[in-house]
């Protein structure tokens, strides 16, 4: 089993990456092959809306680090997507990745009606874990961002989606690491992926 962790935080060794790594640790302990990707370290460009992917759904023509990563994500059994919440939404790094998921959306025209129908070519049935870290103590403050992330996982054909939400001081990069209960939950969720 392959589990990929996508860390959308620009900060190294901070709360989001700590929790993504804990989920991967739990999965690895059960025998999964795991890998973490720090999106901030990649050369990546935003979706250009060029529609070239409509000719070959599932393939993005951009020549950057995200194009091969999109293919790798499709080959994994589980996806751990981590992002801090900035300005009530996901980080820019996470949004860039998710925008590029557009390449998995194909379109076909019905020859009889002329209507265009959409279909998704991303392999469905993957398990998703959504990890978020927010600077506010109120867990419900950023619910719209969590709802949107849940929608993304649903569109991607998730077999299941688990959420791990860290609420604490944005300035304390060790806040999640020092929360034994949250760390145990992250490892347990990782183990349950296998």
Is 80 exceeded by the pLDDT of residue 169?
no
Of the candidate CATH numbers 1.10.8.50, 3.30.420.130, 3.40.50.360, 3.40.50.620, the domain formed by 2-192 belongs to 3.40.50.360
pLDDT of 86 above 80: yes
pTM: 0.94
Q: Which sequence spans correspond to the domains of the chain?
A: 2-192
pLDDT at position 167: 93
CA-wise closest residue to 48 among 67, 72, 29, 30: 67
Residue 172 has pLDDT above 90, yes or no: no
Higher-pLDDT residue of 113 and 26 is 26
How far is 27 from 9, CA to CA, in rounded Å? 21
pLDDT for res 110: 86
Average pLDDT, the chain: 95
Contacts of 27 (CB under 8 A, 6+ apart): 1, 3, 34, 78, 190, 191, 193, 194
Above 90 in pLDDT, residue 11? yes
Query: pLDDT tier at 4 (50, 70, 90 boundaries)?
Result: very high
- What integer is the mean pLDDT of 136-152? 93
């Amino acid at each position: 089993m392959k589990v990929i962790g996508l860390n959308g935080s620009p900060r190294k060794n901070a709360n989001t990456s700590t929790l993504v790594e804990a989920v991967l640790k739990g999965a690895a302990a059960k025998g999964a092959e795991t890998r973490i990707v720090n999106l901030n370290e990649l050369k990546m460009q935003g979706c250009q809306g060029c529609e070239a992917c409509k000719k070959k759904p599932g393939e993005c023509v951009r020549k950057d680090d995200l194009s091969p990563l999109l293919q790798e994500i499709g080959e994994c059994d589980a996806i751990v997507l981590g992002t801090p919440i900035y300005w009530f939404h996901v980080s820019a790094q996470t949004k860039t990745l998710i925008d590029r998921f557009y390449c998995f959306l194909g379109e076909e025209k019905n020859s009889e009606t002329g209507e265009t129908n959409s279909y998704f070519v991303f392999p469905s049935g993957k398990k998703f874990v959504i990890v978020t870290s927010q600077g506010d103590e109120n867990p419900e403050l950023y619910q719209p961002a969590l709802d949107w992330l849940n929608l993304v996982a649903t569109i991607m054909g998730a077999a299941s989606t688990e959420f791990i939400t860290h609420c604490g001081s944005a300035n304390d990069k060790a806040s999640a690491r020092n929360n034994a209960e949250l760390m145990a939950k992250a490892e347990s969720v990782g183990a349950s992926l296998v």
